[in-house]
């Protein structure tokens, strides 16, 4: 018998049981018999959630006296572990698993192998279905799939027969009704107030077993067609213009939407007797299971894109098209989702969408890139324990979102709401005032022109040049294109992006930093070659180190940049330069491509300027030898400070511990400034430090005259520059830096306050 035929046989038998007039307990008793027989398993048991515990409801093979007696807590034993993780276990030797717990009343000591799947309702485990065997053997994939299918049928039975308390299952019983503050991870900064709306609870499947397989197949075909139409429509959406990174994101969508493997797997599941909805869900469950095994965040983001599409497909097929976007937002809304695909986010009316809270999400997720371009604040990883946000946030709750502070307040008290409204009004006022500085050149009080440039990485960011009046792009992070692409961006695609960026920037300079990938910014299509899994990615095989080994990569980028800048100025900057020869080699790659283009009589840039980033402390000792080779030097304080303090920049436990306003950092930076005196190079800071007001003040005080910062900070920094007298500031800095013990933050804050300079 084929796998599909045997699965269909189980389903037919289950279907008969479900359609019978038996009461729920009798149905469960029959289900364990059917599954046990079909998988020739000595034991088959069903545990269901009751009063917070998993209770043995039915069994074949274990002692019947244990039914309604054996109870496991969530997280306890193998059953509890399956429910806790909402994940399948398949073990040849149950006792060998660290979570195994022996329950003598069940009489299970003679069984070795064990497999169990969660019974899922609205993404939460409400029970566990498991099988056990005397022989120590792992169950086969088809057997696990049969269990998963049965678990879906059980989920239908359980909810229809109300065997599990829905409130309890969703954790609503424990929901608190007073104000509650959630913390998370800042993904896109900003403030927002609105009413909570869940993007879309997964469609509740009401029928798992198909009556007519051919009809189900047709339904799924039609749904695929409709989904593809929708995705193609989104790709053509004008909002973000053609050719942006968003297009690449949607390209990934398109790739999945047209993926033959995916539709084939769904069709196979239909062949086994499932309805279209159940088949899509089954395949999705499988995908989720695989996702858990992958700890590559970039690949996981891609898998989320697939989830996004699977949800869309289920909604289309079931006719339950009610995402919050499709129902239309009627008021200011904070959108809540476990995760969200970029296409789904794009469907929202951005006038009403005031913020997004995700249970998952990461900085490099596609949806975050899109949200940033839409100007919607996003709080990520706002995961309230294993149960997610459902127990904490109810549909319709008021939410104050402060994504910059990585927090959100649910059901605020009137005082909290007032205080927030005041902050909000103030921040709006401030933003309006900063916007007015757009065309004002940032001169200090003493008449020194400070260069305020901005950092960018996406095509859309470039529009901020005109909006902020920044002097140029001091750091264009070219790796962003690599991070949002499903495959290595070919030279043509790179060329198009660089050319568009230069066109949009007009006369203003753009400093392109060559790719800083590898380490924590690894891309799945580019194995690092030497160290597959860097233990310390920030200090690992990344940036220039990787690019110099992967010369093809660097050559392609060099050519793309040279061609894009034909007839105009090209500024190239190399990241993570640690030794002088690395700079020389990187430059040589560009020069070689330059010579090649000239030999082919191709148009080349009017001039090329090379620069380096100072991020590795060792390079500071070599500046006298490096500087004569450079046109500009930019200090990447994000990386530099983590190396100076030996403190991982991504480690939240250390985030508050080492201050940029500390003597070691500022003395180090002052020495860098001194090393450049007498040379013609442009010296800048392009790390986050320069975009913060007090830190920017300190940098001006030790001699920096150029900052490249996040676009939102351009206005605030220009405003600050205009209030500063450099001689006075640098005298104060020199005094503080000469003291052995000084609270620099306190001193600078006070100094600023005395001069009517706000700290932020």
- Residue 40 buriedness (CB in 10 A; 0-12 / 13-18 / 19+): exposed
Q: Which is nearer to ligand PEP, 364 or 463 (CB)?
A: 364
Q: Considering the complex, what minimum distance in angstroms separates the CB of residue 658 from ligand PEP? A: 14
Q: Binds 143, which of ligand PEP, Mg ion, none (CB < 5 to 8 A, cut-off by type)? A: none
Cα–Cα distance for residue pair 519/483, rounded to 1 Å: 13
The CB-of-708 to ligand PEP minimum distance in angstroms stands at 8
- Taking contact as CB under 5 A, which single stretch among the options 147-155, 632-640, 691-699, 745-753 is the one that binds Mg ion? 632-640
Q: How far is CA 81 from the centre of its chain?
A: 26
Least distance in Å: CB of 686 to Mg ion? 9
Nearer to ligand PEP, 6 or 710 (CB): 710
Strand partners, 609: 571
Among 639, 688, 695, 719, binds Mg ion (CB under 5 A): 639
Contact set for Mg ion, span 705-734 (CB under 5 A): none
- Among residues 498, 470, 375, 514, the alpha carbon closest in space to that of 708 is found at 470
Helix (H) or strand (E) holding 689: none
Q: Which partner from the list ligand PEP, Mg ion, none does 686 bind, CB cut-off 5 to 8 Å by kind?
A: ligand PEP
Nearest distance in Å: CB 638, Mg ion: 5
Distance CA 128, CA 70 (A): 13
Which does residue 687 bind out of Mg ion, ligand PEP, none, counting CB within 5 to 8 angstroms by kind? ligand PEP
**Residue ranges that bind ligand PEP, judged by CB under 6 A:** 475, 477, 516, 615, 636-639, 686-687
Calculate the CA 161 to chain-centre distance: 39
Nearer to Mg ion, 118 or 518 (CB): 518
- DSSP bridge pairs for 91: 114
Site for Mg ion in 602-631 (CB under 5 A): 615
Query: Do β-strands 451-456 and 473-477 pair in parallel, antiparallel, or remain unpaired?
Result: parallel
CA–CA gap between residue 384 and residue 184 (Å, rounded): 9
Q: How many CB atoms lie within 10 A of CB 64?
A: 13
Q: Which is nearer to Mg ion, 513 or 670 (CB)?
A: 513
**Binding partner of 700, given Mg ion, ligand PEP, none, CB within 5-8 angstroms per partner class:** none
Shortest CB 615 distance to ligand PEP, Å: 5
Q: Which of ligand PEP, Mg ion, none does residue 355 bind to, with CB < 5 to 8 Å depending on kind?
A: none
Q: How far is the CB of 455 from ligand PEP (least distance, A)?
A: 7
What whole-number distance in Å separates Cα of residue 379 and Cα of residue 216? 39
| Contact call for residues 128 and 118 (beta carbons, < 8 A) | yes
Nearest Cα to Cα of residue 72 among 49, 43, 42, 98: 49
Q: Using CB under 5 A, which of 184, 636, 711, 715 touches Mg ion? A: 636
38 binds, among Mg ion, ligand PEP, none (CB under 5 to 8 A by kind): none
Site size toward Mg ion, by CB under 5 A: 3
CB of 583 closer than 8 Å to CB of 626: yes
In the bound complex, what is the minimum distance in angstroms from residue 289's beta carbon to ligand PEP?
Answer: 34
Told to check if 537 binds Mg ion by CB under 5 A, we report no
Is 457 a binding residue for Mg ion by CB under 5 A? The answer is: no
Nearest Cα residue to 268 out of 14, 4, 9, 15: 4
Closest approach, Cβ 672 to Mg ion, in A, equals 15
Report the residue number whose CB is nearest to Mg ion.
639
Give the shortest CB-506-to-ligand PEP separation in angstroms.
24
Burial of 168 per CB tally in 10 Å (0-12, 13-18, 19+): middle
The 3-state DSSP class for residue 610 equals strand
Residue sitting closest to ligand PEP (CB): 636
CA 1/CA 290 separation, integer angstroms:
27
Query: Residue 693: which of Mg ion, ligand PEP, none does it interact with, CB under 5 to 8 A by kind?
Result: none
Closest to Mg ion by CB, 39 or 614: 614
**Nearest distance from residue 470's CB to ligand PEP, in Å?**
16
Coil, helix or strand at residue 25: helix
540 binds Mg ion (CB under 5 A): no
Residues 6+ apart with CB under 8 A from 309: 227, 231, 253, 256, 257, 341
Which residues make up the interface to Mg ion (CB under 5 A)? 615, 636, 639
């Amino acid at each position: 018998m084929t796998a599909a035929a045997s699965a269909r046989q189980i389903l037919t038998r289950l279907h008969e049981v479900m359609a019978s007039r038996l009461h729920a307990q009798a149905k469960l008793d029959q289900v364990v018999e059917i599954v046990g027989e079909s998988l020739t398993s000595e034991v088959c048991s069903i545990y269901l959630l009751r009063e917070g515990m998993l209770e043995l409801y039915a069994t074949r093979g274990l002692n019947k006296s244990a039914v309604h007696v054996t109870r496991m807590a969530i997280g306890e034993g193998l059953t509890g572990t399956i429910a806790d993780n909402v994940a399948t276990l398949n073990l040849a030797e149950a006792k060998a698993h660290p979570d195994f717990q022996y329950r003598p009343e069940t009489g299970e000591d003679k069984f070795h192998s064990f497999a169990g799947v969660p019974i899922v309702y609205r993404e939460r485990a409400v029970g566990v279905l498991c099988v056990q065997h005397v022989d120590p053997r792992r169950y086969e994939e088809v057997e696990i799939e049969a269990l998963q299918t049965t678990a879906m049928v059980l989920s239908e039975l359980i909810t229809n027969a109300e065997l599990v308390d829905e409130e309890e299952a969703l954790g609503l019983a424990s929901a608190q009704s007073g104000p509650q503050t959630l913390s998370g991870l800042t993904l896109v900064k900003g403030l927002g107030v609105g009413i909570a709306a869940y993007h879309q609870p997964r469609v509740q499947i009401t029928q798992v077993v198909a009556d007519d397989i051919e009809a189900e197949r047709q339904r799924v075909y039609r749904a695929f067609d409709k989904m593809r139409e929708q995705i193609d429509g989104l790709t053509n959406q004008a909002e973000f213009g053609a050719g942006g990174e968003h297009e690449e994101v949607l390209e990934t969508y398109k790739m999945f939407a047209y993926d033959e493997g995916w539709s084939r797997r769904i069709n196979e599941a239909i062949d086994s007797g499932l309805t279209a909805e159940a088949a899509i869900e089954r395949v999705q469950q499988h995908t989720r299971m695989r996702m858990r095994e992958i700890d590559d965040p970039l690949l996981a983001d891609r898998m989320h894109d697939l989830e996004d599409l699977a949800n869309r497909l289920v909604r289309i097929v079931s006719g339950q098209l009610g995402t919050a976007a499709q129902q239309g937002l009627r008021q200011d809304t904070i959108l809540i989702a476990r995760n969200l695909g970029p296409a789904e986010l794009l469907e929202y009316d951005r006038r009403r969408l005031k913020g997004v809270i995700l249970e998952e999400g990461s900085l490099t997720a596609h949806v975050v890139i899109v949200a940033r371009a839409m100007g919607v604040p996003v709080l990520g990883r706002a995961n309230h324990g294993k149960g997610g946000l459902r127990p904490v946030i109810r549909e319709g709750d008021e939410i104050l979102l402060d994504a910059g502070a990585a927090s959100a307040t649910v059901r605020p008290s009137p005082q909290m709401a007032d205080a927030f409204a005041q902050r909000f009004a103030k921040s709006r006022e401030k933003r309006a005032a900063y916007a007015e500085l757009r065309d004002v050149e940032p001169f200090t009080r003493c008449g020194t022109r400070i260069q305020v440039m901005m950092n960018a990485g996406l095509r859309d960011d470039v529009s901020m040049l005109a909006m902020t009046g920044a002097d140029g792009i001091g750091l264009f992070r070219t790796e962003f294109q690599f991070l949002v692409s499903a495959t290595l961006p070919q030279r043509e695609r790179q060329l198009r992006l660089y050319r568009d960026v230069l066109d949009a920037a007009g006369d203003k300079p753009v400093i392109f930093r060559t790719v800083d990938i590898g380490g924590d910014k690894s891309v799945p299509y580019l194995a690092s070659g030497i160290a597959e899994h860097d233990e310390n990615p920030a200090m690992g095989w990344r940036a220039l180190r990787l690019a110099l080994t992967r010369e093809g990569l660097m050559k392609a980028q060099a050519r793309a940049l040279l061609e894009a800048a034909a007839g105009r100025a090209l500024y190239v900057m190399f990241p993570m330069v640690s030794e002088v020869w690395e700079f020389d080699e990187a430059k040589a790659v560009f020069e070689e491509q330059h010579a090649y283009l000239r030999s082919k009589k191709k148009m080349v840039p009017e001039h090329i300027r090379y620069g380096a980033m100072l991020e590795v402390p060792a390079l500071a000792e070599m500046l006298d030898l490096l500087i004569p080779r450079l046109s500009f030097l930019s200090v990447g304080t994000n990386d530099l400070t983590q190396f100076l303090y030996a403190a991982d920049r991504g480690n939240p436990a250390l985030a508050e511990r080492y201050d940029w306003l500390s003597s070691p950092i500022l003395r180090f930076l002052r020495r860098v400034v001194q090393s450049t005196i007498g040379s013609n190079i442009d010296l800048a800071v392009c790390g986050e430090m320069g975009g913060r007001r007090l830190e920017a003040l300190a940098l001006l005080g030790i001699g920096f005259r150029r900052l490249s910062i996040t676009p939102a900070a351009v206005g605030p920094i220009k405003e600050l520059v205009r209030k500063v007298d450099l001689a006075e500031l640098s005298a104060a800095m020199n005094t503080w830096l000469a003291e052995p013990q000084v609270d620099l933050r306190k001193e600078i804050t006070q100094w600023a306050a005395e001069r009517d300079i706000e700290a932020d």
